[in-house]
A and B are shown apart, each in its own frame.
Chain A
Amino acid sequence: MPVSTFMGLHTSLRGLLAEQRALDVTSHNIANANTQGYSRQEAQLQATDALALPTSGRLGTGVDVIAYKRIRDSFLDLQYRTQAMQVGAGATRAQALDRAELRLSEPGENGIAQRLNSYWSSWSDLANAPDSGAARQALIGDAQSLISAVNALDVGMQTVASEAAAELSALTGAGGELQQVGRELAGLNGAIRDAQRVGAQPNDLLDRRDLLLDKLAGLAQVSVADDGAGSIRVTLGGAAAPLVDGSVLTWPPPAMTSPGGTIGALMDLSSPTGTIASYRSDIANFAQGLTAQVNAIYQPAAGTDFFAYDGATATLSLNPLVTAATVRAGAGGAGDNSAALALSELRGTPGSADDLYARLVTRIGTEVADARRGALNASALSESIEDRRQGTAGVSLDEEMTNLIRFQRGYQAAARAMSATDELLDTLIDRTGRVGL
């Protein structure tokens, strides 16, 4: 079989076109260098089928782009998502506990520790001047300031918990981030399946879907199953049923057994058995301890309780019968200060209210420090995984610049080859057969 005279032109043309596609892909990469979630693409070139020549073997016919490959390591995606869940949970928890810690205003002059000190000192001052109106007034004032600090701390913790609950319902409620992400995932699933059915490569849709999965992983534990036809099934937080299956979004989301991520942290913070709730029960213990210890001494001397603690509403209050006029330093004469002395001796004893409070502060401090450390660790790990992921999937401008030069040169060379063929044909067509002209 003879080879066409114009074969060289076609071969060069294929080269030109392929280099141009490769340049287009490079431009696309450069354009998306700062696009979140974008994966580097690569035009995969392959030599076209050779012409089999009966006498002289096989003759190459040029090149073709067989695919636009999306360069991404799905194993790193899995690692990243596991870590993103930790980052989501850690950051949410650290922020909320940070707010809880701020409510303590410790160490300092405005915290409960200082008010307790003032309160015990007031008893001591009253013991020094049992019949002094000023000392009684100061005692009642200090007691009230202690009460309001204790109640404000509990309300502050309640606020932190209800803020977490509000954030949770904003995330998981109708129109929240979870629903939006789910809806978009379902839509993308449909689009990707349709594109793949007709043999197209919806690289940018896949990138978008992976980005949404990353986002979802920050919210809760995500598990993804691919159906092989372009769709994925996404299950959230170990739920029995998938959140997104193909192009179907299950709403409201199926109940999660191990949510993890931001949602898990928020659930813990707002739960009546969660972290903040346990701080509140520590505060209640402290308030009850204070009430019991003070009343145990004050009641026999004065006949009335000093503090009252309502467990149902978690409020500490002054017994309404105790006023600056009625408060007593002891059961005996005007100068009897036995009760006031015993009460002032409560200061700092082991198991005292001070002790309970210091333990509460230490506990919150430790847990905040832990949460902060955990969040930092998780984000350091996720950064390093992200680095590796970017190393694979990220656009390196240096590399793209190099490719740009490579493909440009390739294009130039292909064009030169075409000119060479052209000159060849020129010789053949214009300069041959002119003998005698």
Chain B
Amino acid sequence: MISRGVLADLNDVSTRLANTQRKMSTGKELTRPSDDPFAVGRAIALRTELDGVGQYRRNAAEAEAWTAATDVQLGGLTDIAHRARELLMQGSSGTTTPSQRATIAAEIDQLVDAAKQTANATHGGRSLFGGTATNVRPYDMVSDAYAGDGGDVVRTIGPGVSVIVNVRASDVLGNGADGKMLETLRDVAAHLRGGTAADQAALTGSDIAALDSSIGDLLGARAQIGTTANRVTAADDRLAELEEGVRNLLSTTEDADMAATLIDYSMQQSVYQSALRAGAGIVQASLLDFLR
């Protein structure tokens, strides 16, 4: 009866010792759902959240890259528009000869091509300015028609938080004859070549106004992209903090408290050893030892 009791107690202590040892070797408080079902459920939810936050951060990085690439190309387009405006000022002055005007008109034609090439820029093999038609170039060199679509390129940077990271070429350069930058530049070139009084009047009047409005469109687009980029950066900072927080929570939920575990371990070990010693003493002692 005593030996059965000793055996049961030893088993009990060694089971606890094995559990503590497992905690130490895995560094985890929870190794099976039954260790603490609710904590495991919580750990699973936290892990899901952590993975989600990590994904949002990757999305944010992607969004930052996209907005940065868009901004660079919009900068190029703005430079082109400014150059066109300089040329227009030169060409519209009364002292410019028709042959000089023809040269300027030729340069403006070049600028149109340059603008279209800039708008055909890609990021990671995807067209930046074609809406969601990322696999086609927004413009070919023959016509000024916009070949992209009206879609938004959306990135999710938080639960239910999405940002539009693209600018469509149709909004800044235009789609054929719609009064946007491409048509304005075409008009300017035509007026420079025309040489009539009406052309001259257009050069100094409506063309400048139209070009300024195109520059306004570009600046507006850059401002919008800049704001988005700021928003994404701020969101990423917040996500980094959140990630840290969730990681801490997860760690407190499922990681073993090493100091406490070590203390438990050495305590249980000494209990085990003394149980063994006491058991050995009790089991061995018998009346037989004391009879002759």
Contact = CB atoms under 8 A, between A and B. Distances in A.
B48 to A, nearest CB: 4
B154 interface: yes
Contacts of A336: 132, 151
A264 interface: no
> What are the 9 tightest A-B residue pairs by CB atom distance, in nearest-first order?
A365-B33, A365-B37, A335-B134, A335-B132, A368-B34, A362-B41, A333-B132, A334-B135, A333-B133
Contacts of B48: 113, 116-117, 347-348, 354, 358
B281 interface: no
Given A128-B58, A335-B153, A358 B132 contact: no
Interface string A302-344: 0000000000000000000000000000101111111001001
Interface bin, chain A: 35 or more
A15 B55 CA distance: 94
B37 A129 contact: no
B1 interface: yes
Interface string A96-118: 00100110101100000110111
A333 B48 CA distance: 31
Interface bin, chain B: 35 or more
A104 to B, nearest CB: 6
Contacts of B34: 98, 101, 364-366, 368-369, 372
A337 B59 CA distance: 13
Interface string B168-182: 000000000000000
A117 B124 CA distance: 26
A106 B40 CA distance: 8
B4 A365 contact: no
A298 interface: no
Interface stretch (A181-189, A199-207, A382-390): A382-390
Given A354-B45, A387-B1, A391-B1, A125 B58 contact: yes
A341 B291 CA distance: 87
Given A128-B59, A333-B133, A344-B55, A101 B154 contact: no
Contacts, number: 172
B254 interface: yes
A405 B290 CA distance: 13
Contact of B133 (A334, A348, A362): A334
Interface in A202-235: none
Contacts of A347: 48, 51-52, 55
Interface of A: 98, 101-102, 104, 106-107, 113-114, 116-118, 120-121, 124-125, 127-131, 330, 332-338, 341, 344-345, 347-348, 354-355, 357-359, 361-366, 368-369, 372, 383, 386-387, 390-391, 394, 396-398, 401-402, 405
Contact of B126 (A117, A335, A345): A335
Given A116-B48, A361-B44, A387-B1, A104 B33 contact: yes
B94 interface: no
Nearest to B250: A107
13 contacts: A114-B47, A121-B51, A124-B55, A127-B59, A127-B154, A129-B126, A130-B134, A131-B134, A334-B135, A358-B44, A362-B41, A363-B37, A366-B37
Contact of A113 (B47, B151, B156): B47
Given A106-B33, A345-B159, A347-B51, 15 more contacts: A101-B32, A113-B44, A116-B48, A118-B51, A120-B52, A120-B55, A330-B132, A333-B132, A335-B133, A336-B151, A345-B156, A364-B34, A365-B36, A365-B41, A394-B1
Nearest to B3: A34
B37 to A, nearest CB: 3
Interface string B26-48: 00101111111110110111011
B199 interface: no
A111 to B, nearest CB: 8
B155 interface: yes
B260 interface: no
Nearest to A401: B287
B134 A362 contact: no
B149 interface: yes
B280 interface: no
B223 interface: no
Contacts of B51: 117-118, 120-121, 347
B40 A127 contact: no
B87 to A, nearest CB: 35
Interface string B1-37: 1001100100000000000000000001011111111
Contacts of B47: 107, 113-114, 117
A362 B37 CA distance: 5
Contact of A348 (B35, B45, B148, B286): B45
